[in-house]
Structure 1
Amino acid sequence: MCKAALTYLLLLIPLISFGQNKEYGFFKTRLVNEQFIVDYSDKLSIKLFGSMKSNTIAHVNHETKKKLEYKPNESLNLGFGVGYRWFGLDVAFNFRGVNHDDDKFGHTKRFDFQSSVYTRKFAGDLSIQRYKGYYLDNPEEYISNFDPDGPYPTRPDINTRRYGVSLLYVFNHGKFSFRSAFIYNQRQIKSTGSFLAGPFFSYFRMDADSSLIISEAESEFDLSQDFRGSEYIRYGIAGGYGYNLVLGHRVFISLSVVIGLGPEIKKTPKLNGVPKNTESKFTGRAATRIALGYNAPKFYCGFSAAGVYAGERDDTEDYLERGVSNAKFFIGKRFNPPKFLLPKEK
């Protein structure tokens, strides 16, 4: 634990020093460079969208890297959104006529709140997820003569909880715009990128009635490794880079990759005759954002996705891999706001 904390501190010192540089002062807000960004926050924006969220887990063999991958029965939600200046609201609904594959993948109960906030200088994420009911996504690797058109092995007893928060500072916020790629109240008109850095925290727990290892795969995995009731607390500092590639002033591709480092505290309960235990390791996480679309003065459409992937990556024993993802596609239009929304003249 002390070694992990010392390494964490050594990583933090140069980041703080970089943030205090006169050119990139952390508290210094640079003006929007109009050669790179066009602002549309004074327009009323209305959009239609579809979204799909997920929370996956996998028991990984530390030697062969083979996995037992479990996923919830993912559902497509459809909705609409409105945005004006600082205010934005998205409302989505689960249409049963669209999601009717419970016979194949089982039923998943979920509460999934994932929210992202993009200001000029910061990109923040908050997630609260509770899932109950998973299915084995790769049974063909372990079950002979498995029929992919038939029902998949389901685990209605698997229950996961995850809470996470992260914040990224956009160093080149005068020229680089996350808003243009993800909330569309700006438009990037010239390609550029920015370094990104900030803290993160997450908590995860998985419960089930039995081990994740199915009988057909017992020879492929360590049966003594049982992750039921295990808790994972992770925190640290992340850093990376984002880039907006603009083609013809309106078509764009946005990609950011951020690597986080810090201690992870794993708490395991007393189970199968093994006493409860608490251990800490210095581990990493990867967070990605990708978006592509068309952004014009009045009309826009596109696709975006974000994901966070974590796991102990242990070389001495099997480990539990976790992933969170959120994908969205949308089409929208900007309007001049009605008079009652306009600021009153003094």
Structure 2
Amino acid sequence: MRNSYILLFLFISIKTSANIKNHSRRFHLGLTTASPSYQLSFTPEEVSTEQKVNFRPNILGLGGYRLTLFGFTLTYLEDAIRNEKDDIKFGKTSYEDIRLSTYWGNKEQWYINGYYTRYKGLYIDNSEEIDSNLSSIDPKIYNEDLEVFNAGGAILYTFKPSEYSLAAAYSQTSQQKKSGGSWLIRLSSDSTLIKDSTAIIPTQVRTLYGTDQNLIKTQFVSTTFQGGYGYTVVLSNFFLNLQGLYGVGIQNRKWTNEGEKNQSSNTNISKLSLWAALGYNGDDFFLTIKHLNDETKYETKSINIFSNLSWLQLDLGVRF
């Protein structure tokens, strides 16, 4: 009887572990392209006005590469497509994006990642509302010195690594053979820096923005703890991954107005993270479409700042 229990346990263990096929020690090489839609909106804290200044980057498409070596995956993206007519109307935006990730644990139940992104040169999408002398066919108001930096890192844990593979969902360095899901927890730290050489708010509407109307620099550092659920549907080597996380945290905010000292304060925040990926993940080849939506609200004393990002990415790669 005892031997029967041992054999049954071994059978279940082998069957469960066979659900995840690990390729993290193989060399992966791939191409990456992305189409981001990003808007940075400044609105006065005073609710009696509906004034907005909507900044956007002039980015048609991003291109880059990704490679995996010794269990670490590096992805690099930059603006790859330019249009001369668009550059005349909207100005030029430079962009760079660097991401590094790895997995830890005997079943890769920990996902560890870090990132850095930078935009430089943004235009005001609603320029005609800011300057009544402009029409829709005129060049937009362009701020070549406005920069937005984002950097941070996170640790994500899956409670059922034998049923739900983080590596298969995020970087395709593993394969998940059967449909399955798991509860998740995530600890993250993120920093956003927005700065300009002069006041960010245009002179035409600056007086509507209160005490921080001459804002030239602001930084937000957030630490959040989230919980949620992820599930991957698998059909042969095709897969659909959906993931949602929600949590709370604390944010330190610092801002500087032109000619004034730095100001700072702390506040409580909440965060919702949604992720989806669809693709083919074979033994030697993978093709993945990923979509991310991220909406974040920041505040100074008299200004609300809304960051809205919709990110569509295509990864194509091979394993050796």
TM-score range, shorter chain: 0.7 to 0.9
- 2:184, 2:228 within 8 Å by CA — same for their partners in 1? yes
Matched, 1:263 2:250: yes
CA distance, structure 2, for counterparts of residue 196 and residue 51 of structure 1 = 27
| 2:297 maps to which of 311, 324, 335 | 311
Helix, strand or coil for the counterpart of 1:202? Answer: strand
Task: After TM superposition, give the deviation of residue 243 of structure 1 in Å.
Answer: 1.9
Task: After TM superposition, give the deviation of residue 301 of structure 1 in Å.
Answer: 1.4
Task: After TM superposition, give the deviation of residue 218 of structure 1 in Å.
Answer: 6.1
**Cα distance 1:298–1:282, how it changes in 2: closer, same or farther (>3 A)?**
same
Helix, strand or coil for the counterpart of 2:316? Answer: strand
- Percent sequence identity is 22
- 1:52, 1:76 within 8 Å by CA — same for their partners in 2? yes
Q: Give the corresponding residue for 1:151.
A: 139
- Match of 2:55, as an amino acid? Y
Matched, 1:332 2:317: yes
Matched, 1:58 2:41: yes
Q: How many residues align?
A: 299
Q: Give the corresponding residue for 1:106.
A: 91
Helix, strand or coil for the counterpart of 2:161? Answer: coil
What's the TM-score, normalizing by structure 1?
A: 0.70
**Cα distance 1:296–1:77, how it changes in 2: closer, same or farther (>3 A)?**
same
- Match of 2:281, as an amino acid? N
Matched, 1:175 2:163: yes
Q: Give the corresponding residue for 2:184.
A: 196
Q: Which runs of 5+ in 1 are unaligned?
A: 1-29, 338-346
Show CA shifts across 1:208-245 (max 9, x none): 244444466669x5344434222222223222222212
Q: Give the corresponding residue for 2:110.
A: 122
Helix, strand or coil for the counterpart of 2:209? Answer: coil
Q: Give the corresponding residue for 1:76.
A: 61
Task: After TM superposition, give the deviation of residue 45 of structure 1 in Å.
Answer: 4.2
Task: After TM superposition, give the deviation of residue 81 of structure 1 in Å.
Answer: 4.2
- Match of 1:289, as an amino acid? W
CA distance, structure 1, for counterparts of residue 151 and residue 304 of structure 2 = 20
- 1:285, 1:311 within 8 Å by CA — same for their partners in 2? no
Helix, strand or coil for the counterpart of 1:152? Answer: coil
CA distance, structure 2, for counterparts of residue 128 and residue 271 of structure 1 = 27
**Greater mean alpha carbon deviation, residues 196-205 or residues 33-42:** 33-42
Show CA shifts across 1:13-47 (max 9, x none): xxxxxxxxxxxxxxxxx988246433444665443
- 2:73, 2:102 within 8 Å by CA — same for their partners in 1? no
- Match of 2:236, as an amino acid? H
- Match of 2:286, as an amino acid? Y
| 1:230 maps to which of 218, 222, 233 | 218
Helix, strand or coil for the counterpart of 1:74? Answer: coil
Q: Which runs of 5+ in 2 are unaligned?
A: 1-12
Matched, 1:280 2:277: no
CA distance, structure 1, for counterparts of residue 15 and residue 297 of structure 2 = 39
Helix, strand or coil for the counterpart of 1:103? Answer: helix
- 1:35, 1:190 within 8 Å by CA — same for their partners in 2? no
Show CA shifts across 1:48-83 (max 9, x none): 332356875221345377643222232534344444
- 2:199, 2:258 within 8 Å by CA — same for their partners in 1? no
| Richer in strand (by share) | 2
- 1:59, 1:212 within 8 Å by CA — same for their partners in 2? no
- 1:310, 1:322 within 8 Å by CA — same for their partners in 2? yes
